[in-house]
Structure 1
Amino acid sequence: MRQATTTTGGHLLSASSSVPSGSPVPSASPGASGSPGGSLARRLVQLYAGLALYGVSSALLVEAGLGLEPWGVLHQGLAELTGISIGVVSIIVGAIVLLLWIPLRQRPGLGTVSNVFVVGLAMDGALAVVPDVQAYGVRIPLMAVAIVLNGVATGLYIAAKFGPGPRDGLMTGLHQRTGRSIRLMRTVIEVAVVATGFVLGGTIGVGTVLYALAIGPLAQFFLRVFALPAPPAGSTVVAGSSSGGAILRP
C-alpha cells in the first residue's frame, strides 16, 4: 500500500537516561567544547547509517499503511496536497523548522543538518524499490519491523552525538524561551502537526499508537547498545553536555 510520509529523526535522548518520554531535559549543545568518546570515523558511520536506516524504516511504515507517527502524518498530508515527492516534502519541512531555530537561539550540529537531507533521500529511495503490499498478513509484520528498525536507527544516530534533529531543537528551544515544560511543548507541537496532517489526508491508525508506545523503550535500549566508549582516564577531552532525559516524538 503506497502512501506518502516520513519523519526526520525526531528523538533526542541521553544514552544513559532512563527518564520516561517527555520528561524535562536540559538542552544538549552541539557546540559544547570537547568531543565525546569514540573515534570520529565510528561516529560518522553511526550518524549516517542511523539516518539512512531511519528513512528506510519510515518507508516500511508507509508501505504497511496502518498508521504513521505525528510528523509523518503531516508530511503525508502535505505530499498528498502538493504532489511533491515525500522525501522532498520532508526536506522542505525540516529546513523550515531549522530556520525557526534562529530566533530560538539554538545551534545546529552536523547531525542536525544531515538529518534534514539524508532521511528524506533515504526514504524516497526505499519507497522506489520496496513493492506495494496489500495483505494484512504482510502489512502487520512489516509495521512491527519498521518500528523496531526505527528504534535501531534512533539509537545509532543519536548516540553519535552530532546534534539533535531539527524538530527536537524546536521543542527544546521553545522550552528554554518560554519556560514551559518539554512535555507541554512536545504535546502542543504534535497535536498541531497531527491535526493539520490529518485534515490534509495523513493517515492515523494502530501503527500510530504502537509507535508511540514502543519507540521510547526501543530507542533507550538501542542508545545503550550503540553508546560511544568513554574517553580514556586522564584524557584532556571534555565531553559535551548531554540531555538528562528523553524527548520521544512519535
Structure 2
Amino acid sequence: MNPNTSPLGLANLGPLAQLRAGRLPERIARLLVGLWLYGVSNALLMESVLGGSPWVVFHQGASRHLPLSLGAIMVLVAVLVLLLWIPLRQMPGLGTVANTFLLGPFTDFNLQLLATPESLPLRWVYLIGGVVMCAIATALYVGAQLGPGPRDGLMTGFARRTGWSIQRVRTGIEIVVLTLGVLMGGVIGFGTLVFALGVGPLTQFFMRYLVLRLEAPAPKAAAPVS
C-alpha cells in the first residue's frame, strides 16, 4: 500500500499541495458545510442529555485534575493530539485551522437554536441524529482533503499508515479516549456508548461516497533521445 494514500483515497499532502490539488472552491464549500454540520451534531448530542461523545467525557475528566476551564483543556488536548501527528507524518492544512477556529462558534450558535427536549423519545431522536450527523460531517470535511482537524487527523493518519479501515481506527480511538475519560472521572451515559460504537461504521460508510478523490499529477514526459 502507498503510505501516502489511505484505502479510501485520502492523500497525505502538504499545505500548499492541498491548495493546488484542484477543485478548490468545491473543496472549501465541502469543508465549511462539514464543519457546520459537525456543530449541529455537537449541539444535538449535548441537548439530548443522554451522554456526550468520548472526547467530551475525556475533557470533562481532565478538567477534574487541571486548574483550567473546559475550553482551555480542549485547546490543550488539541495541541497534544497534533504532536501525535509527527510520527504519523500527517500533514495539516486549511481544514486543520478551520476546525480549530470555526467548530466552537458553530457549536455555540447551534446550541442557541436548539433546546433540550422534554420527551425521552425526542431526546433519542436528537442522539441518533447527532451520531449520524457527526459521521456525515466528518466524511464531508475530511473528504475535502484540505487537512483534517486534530482528532480526525489522528484517525486518518493511523488509517493511512496501518492500512486499517476508518471504521476500525475510529472505533478504537473512541473506545480508548472514552476509557481514559472515565478513569479520570468523566461522566458517561448510554448515548456515549451509542456514539462510541456507532460513529466509526457510519463514518466509514459515508466516506465511501463523500471523499473527493484528487487526481494524481500527470507524469513528466521523458526527454527525447538525440
Higher share in helix: 2
- The equivalent residue for 2:188 is 204
**Does the C-alpha gap of structure 1 residues 147 and 176 become closer, same or farther in structure 2, counting only changes over 3 Å?**
closer
Instruction: Quote the RMSD (CA, aligned, Å).
Output: 3.9
Deviations 1:57-91 (A, max 9, x none): 012111112223321211234467768365x5433
1:116-155 aligned within 5 A:
116-155=100-139
Deviations 1:69-123 (A, max 9, x none): 321211234467768365x543342133224545765432222232222222222
Q: State the distance in 2 between where 1:145 and 1:191 align.
A: 20
State yes or no: 1:98 paired with 2:76. no
**Does the C-alpha gap of structure 1 residues 147 and 77 become closer, same or farther in structure 2, counting only changes over 3 Å?**
same
**Does the C-alpha gap of structure 1 residues 226 and 101 become closer, same or farther in structure 2, counting only changes over 3 Å?**
closer
**Does the C-alpha gap of structure 1 residues 96 and 61 become closer, same or farther in structure 2, counting only changes over 3 Å?**
same
Tell me the CA shift for residue 215 of structure 1: 1.9
Give yes or no for contact 1:36–1:161 (8 Å, CA) kept in 2.
no
TM superposition score normalised by structure 1? 0.65
**Does the C-alpha gap of structure 1 residues 84 and 127 become closer, same or farther in structure 2, counting only changes over 3 Å?**
farther
Tell me the CA shift for residue 45 of structure 1: 0.9
Give yes or no for contact 1:69–1:212 (8 Å, CA) kept in 2.
yes
Q: State the distance in 1 between where 2:158 and 2:210 align.
A: 29
- The equivalent residue for 1:84 is 69
SS at structure 1 position matched to 2:27: helix
Q: State the distance in 2 between where 1:110 and 1:76 align.
A: 28
Give yes or no for contact 2:135–2:199 (8 Å, CA) kept in 1.
yes
Give yes or no for contact 1:174–1:185 (8 Å, CA) kept in 2.
no
Give yes or no for contact 1:36–1:228 (8 Å, CA) kept in 2.
no
SS at structure 2 position matched to 1:66: coil
State yes or no: 1:218 paired with 2:195. no
SS at structure 2 position matched to 1:68: coil
Q: State the distance in 1 between where 2:34 and 2:114 align.
A: 19
- Identical positions, percent: 42
Give yes or no for contact 1:15–1:159 (8 Å, CA) kept in 2.
no
Among residues 71, 75, 79, which one is paired with 2:59 in the alignment? 75
Higher RCO (C-alpha 8 Å, min separation 6): 1
Q: State the distance in 2 between where 1:166 and 1:154 align.
A: 12
When Rg is computed on C-alpha atoms for both structures, the one with the higher figure is 2
State yes or no: 1:156 paired with 2:137. no
Letter in 2 for 1:93: V
SS at structure 2 position matched to 1:95: helix
State yes or no: 1:107 paired with 2:86. no
Letter in 1 for 2:69: I
Gapped runs of 5+ residues in structure 1? 1-12, 17-26, 239-250
**Does the C-alpha gap of structure 1 residues 112 and 167 become closer, same or farther in structure 2, counting only changes over 3 Å?**
same
- The equivalent residue for 1:31 is 14
- The equivalent residue for 2:45 is 61
TM superposition score normalised by structure 2? 0.70
Tell me the CA shift for residue 217 of structure 1: 3.3
SS at structure 2 position matched to 1:29: coil
Gapped runs of 5+ residues in structure 2? 1-5, 220-226
